Amino acid sequence: VKEEIDKMITSGIIEAVEESEWISPMVISIKKDGRIRICVDYRDLNAVCVIDPFPTPFTEEILEGVAGHEIYSFTDGFSGYHQ
């Protein structure tokens, strides 16, 4: 677990904090190949969050919006599991 957390800190996925008003428990899941996946139980936090009235658009909607333009932007989805 420590090795995975160290990798997440090094890659900027998570960062250490001294104090926080919110604490969510870490949950470890074993992948089919035997490696671990670090998860967080955000149910308590989600219960008090305001619902986003602007959901992420579908890929087709995004592509239709950029069709015919000359300039495009690219976003790398590194470790898309952590979103």
Judging by beta carbons within 10 Å of its beta carbon (0-12, 13-18, 19+), is residue 8 exposed, middle or buried?
A: middle
pTM, two decimals, is 0.57
DSSP letter string, the chain: -HHHHHHHHHTTS----S--S----EEEEE-TTS-EEEEE--HHHHHHSPPPSSPPPPHHHHHHHHTT-S-------TTTT--
The residue ranking higher by pLDDT, 78 or 50, is: 50
For residue 48, the model assigns a pLDDT of 93
For residue 65, the model assigns a pLDDT of 85
pLDDT tens, residue by residue, 3-56:
999 999 998 889 989 998 888 999 999 999 999 989 999 999 999 999 888 888
Greatest extent of the chain over all pairs of C-alpha atoms, in Å = 49
Question: Using 50, 70 and 90 to split pLDDT, how confident is the model at 80?
Answer: low
